[in-house]
Structure 1
């Protein structure tokens, strides 16, 4: 094989590889994963704030060594929440400083409503992975639950808070019957509930799990696209466009390849023509 033929072979091989790479997810600048300071490695749907089109939940200051505390937004234009780490590929540990401050200042008032997470969207939903159920009952109900329920008094708020000291992942039939006239509240839990100190287990630090919708999961993991919402907040799968990038670092020059390309095509079609002629002579 002559040097020119060898070069043409390598050229076409490289071209095939580039074309194949160009059909990935249409977003070649989006990394498959990224590191964020000392917190570890993150994957989709998380993304660096500098690459908002590469994920759904932006993390800020990942590459800033002068800011050890990293912040995340759980929804577009959402509030900033401290990111403490990643527990699974789709689960993270966060600390809501505002909620923590309110818990310390006025526990009863803060526990008056469920902790607020972003509402489910056509792209994903978020849920607290470990939680505790509290029952908020008005004083006028004169509740007298069994001994394994602990009462947290809220005399200035017109109600008391009850919770089960025995660990249970769901509301039991007993609890449903006992507290049917009370409000049911759920908060993140960091420890067992077998104590009258409610702040020992109700916590502003929580593990939240991000669950992609079926459409978004199919879009990103099966079709190689990015999950998007149109102006009407309807889901669509953005597969991007074909991009062919010849990197300067690859060729280390700005020399035009047009003449070489033309020559290689001529060599290719001449070889093809010769093969056709040989077949005709043979038959």
Structure 2
């Protein structure tokens, strides 16, 4: 059987030769371009020397270390380029003139619209995030603007103007502002947190290229998008390209024909000599297989591989009643989960993974070994998995009987009377404790959400799916984009910049905290456009001093000042976790420490009062002010937040006064 293998290799190299010879031929436009420190990119981007090969030419590619630039507005505006992503068709550019004006606090920064290249039949250019400013002359403005508009009066002295804006742009201006000149400028996400345009107008912005349907179909068909001299689109399939395709088809046919002919001839030669021997060998194998099945137990049952318990597929099939749909506990991003009962009476949850690619079985088993070593009272225990010989990939976990936190907040198990405030903060602390243990073990969960927080009959937390992101870092995702996670819980910085850190789990945990406070879902399409996600809704309510509107009425904070103080403190902590820039978020260890202090706040206060009555304690002036201050709205001060049981103060006001470096806060 050696000769056919050689024949297969001959055919493979023959085919490879034809493909390589075809790809080495000259073409009108290169498939990709190299541009110094920007690396490799392709259509719709191109270089200055091949400007007809794309929609946007990058200049300066011939010098590795030189500043790369693009030209907008018919070549009159030049912008430095900091990053290109051809797959997502985005380019990061910087407006140096706008940057200089912003750094000098010059109101000239708001004089002119940002201008993009004009649309073409190949596609159009868009800025990822913009805002419209209404520059109203103070002497001419006759009607007060709507309440939802914010105003900035910092340009009143130099230009006699008040600048009005709202965080959500609209196509039609308010009637009262219709007469004011409008300027559209790029903005950073700080727009939701600041009333000062100098803090959220950004000189560095993201330009996205949206290809036209004709161009996309042309590219999918192997053509090249072009625009002729009259400005009309056409799909370039030149004679050279057509000849190449015909040559490729011919070579493929010849290659397949020659290879198949040689293979058939070789098989015919060896068939007679090997026929009888193969027949005898097959009979022997069948007989041995029958004897093994009759006299030997399942080879996988009770085995260990690298210290990991191995379950046979049949054992798990029997435990779940052949994966009966009535035993199905639910579906997740990685697979379906079934209830099962093993022969030793252990109740288990069997996860049937969607992707069972065994290209790296040894690596998979090593990862499972790591996960089985993780032992924490608030993590679901991984009992084992199926072997590499199994035709299905199954993971076996301990069974948690009381369902998910999501089901108790809003699902079929929802009962607000059971979710008292002590129970909710206990759930938050135990979840944070599990995440802190994972981070200390070098594992980022990447999918922290209420559906992955299980509860036992005593409402003790068991965090699930904590290792699957480690086993499948790239192949499995809840969403079609590169970042992995669930909408509503996904870290914005991870989503837009593809930078995953343990602070991504902190952001998701901040959403969980807000769910515990409000019982609202992380995503609700029935809410206003800018408040669909609970994170955005919470940030807006906090900014407007409307936090109490988020609090679950069942907590009855209006009648229990102690619970009210703790709910507000947890809301303040969630606010810190939901910061857009991950450097502004606390670590999960800090979050856990703060939650524990909040939970023990009442006990500490009682001890302090007893000591005061006995003359054994002195309350500082600052502490006395904190205890006396009524809780009417949320204000924030990160420095004080992590010194609970005091109450934080004035974070939003500090941002509005410019004391926080917004450029660093929202830098990409």
TM-score category, normalised to shorter length:
0.5 to 0.7
Match of 1:99, SS state, is helix
Structure 1 alignment gaps of length 5 or more: 1-8, 246-267, 269-283
Alignment match of 1:72 (pick from 45, 59, 70): 70
Distance verdict in 2 for CA 1:121–1:178, change over 3 Å: same
- For residues 202-231 of structure 1, the C-alpha deviation after alignment (integer angstroms, 9 at most, x for no partner) is 122111111122222222x22322222222
Return the offset for 1:53. 3.6
**C-alpha contact 1:137 1:143 (8 A) present in aligned 2:** no
Greater displacement, 75-84 / 50-59? 75-84
CA distance in 2, matches of 1:93, 1:52: 19
Return the offset for 1:234. 1.8
CA distance in 1, matches of 2:15, 2:206: 48
What's 1:274 paired with? none
What's 1:122 paired with? 121
What's 2:60 paired with? 61
Q: Does 1:113 align with 2:112?
A: yes
CA distance in 1, matches of 2:122, 2:198: 34
Q: Does 1:203 align with 2:211?
A: no
Count of residue correspondences: 232
What's 2:236 paired with? 238
Distance verdict in 2 for CA 1:199–1:192, change over 3 Å: same
CA distance in 2, matches of 1:230, 1:66: 34
1:15-54 correspondence runs (5 A): 17=19, 27=27, 29-31=29-31, 33-54=32-53
Alignment match of 2:84 (pick from 83, 86, 94): 86
Match of 1:44, SS state, is coil
**C-alpha contact 1:102 1:110 (8 A) present in aligned 2:** yes
CA distance in 2, matches of 1:15, 1:191: 52
**C-alpha contact 2:152 2:197 (8 A) present in aligned 1:** no
**C-alpha contact 1:132 1:186 (8 A) present in aligned 2:** yes
Return the offset for 1:115. 1.4
**C-alpha contact 1:27 1:240 (8 A) present in aligned 2:** no
CA distance in 2, matches of 1:237, 1:78: 29
What's 1:184 paired with? 182
**C-alpha contact 2:134 2:165 (8 A) present in aligned 1:** yes
CA distance in 1, matches of 2:75, 2:111: 26
CA distance in 2, matches of 1:172, 1:116: 18
CA distance in 2, matches of 1:40, 1:14: 27
What's 1:160 paired with? 162
- For residues 120-169 of structure 1, the C-alpha deviation after alignment (integer angstroms, 9 at most, x for no partner) is 122221111011221222321145343861223344445321123xx43x
CA distance in 2, matches of 1:98, 1:127: 20
Match of 1:114, SS state, is coil
State the TM-score, normalized to the length of structure 1.
Answer: 0.65
**C-alpha contact 1:22 1:28 (8 A) present in aligned 2:** no
What's 1:4 paired with? none
What's 1:3 paired with? none
Greater displacement, 91-100 / 225-234? 225-234
What's 1:218 paired with? 217
RMSD: 3.9
Distance verdict in 2 for CA 1:158–1:150, change over 3 Å: closer
Name the one with the larger strand percent.
Answer: 1
Name the one with the larger helix percent.
Answer: 2
Structure 2 alignment gaps of length 5 or more: 1-10, 245-257, 259-668
CA distance in 1, matches of 2:148, 2:72: 39
Distance verdict in 2 for CA 1:241–1:97, change over 3 Å: farther
Match of 1:50, SS state, is helix
CA distance in 1, matches of 2:78, 2:182: 27
What's 1:149 paired with? 150
CA distance in 2, matches of 1:90, 1:177: 37
